[in-house]
Amino acid sequence: MPTTAHAIGQAGEDAALDYLLASGYELVHRNYRYRRAEVDLIVRLGQELLVFVEVKTRTTVRFGYPEEFVTSRKQELFRRAAEQVQEELAWAGDIRFDILALTPDSSGLRVEHFQDAFF
């Protein structure tokens, strides 16, 4: 497991993307930025669903589970970024906000996928 916060976050994003691709999602954007918002992953499932994904990686759950660190402020920034992406892509399909929470286990990183995590 990497040791710096940036390296841990990068490893988590890589593992999350691998998980999503293996689950049938297609990458649209990685580390999308809009003003103060950053969306770790934007993926598409089929032609009708665009998913905005926050990836949270923790080396331990001692101070809380990764998904608990998605604040209401982060959710608001996600919504703003989603509006911008929908406009840029002229997206008319559905959207969803997911969290992928990653923690270490004996095989590497354990991925938990929370669909429709917030609105």
Instruction: List pLDDT tens digits, range 11-48.
Output: 889 999 999 999 999 999 999 999 999 999 999 999 99
Q: What is the pTM of this model?
A: 0.89
For residues 57 and 19, give the distance between their C-alpha atoms in angstroms, rounded to a whole number. 14
Instruction: List pLDDT tens digits, range 66-110.
Output: 888 888 999 999 999 999 999 999 999 999 999 999 988 877 778
Domain 5-114 listed as CATH 3.40.1350.10: yes
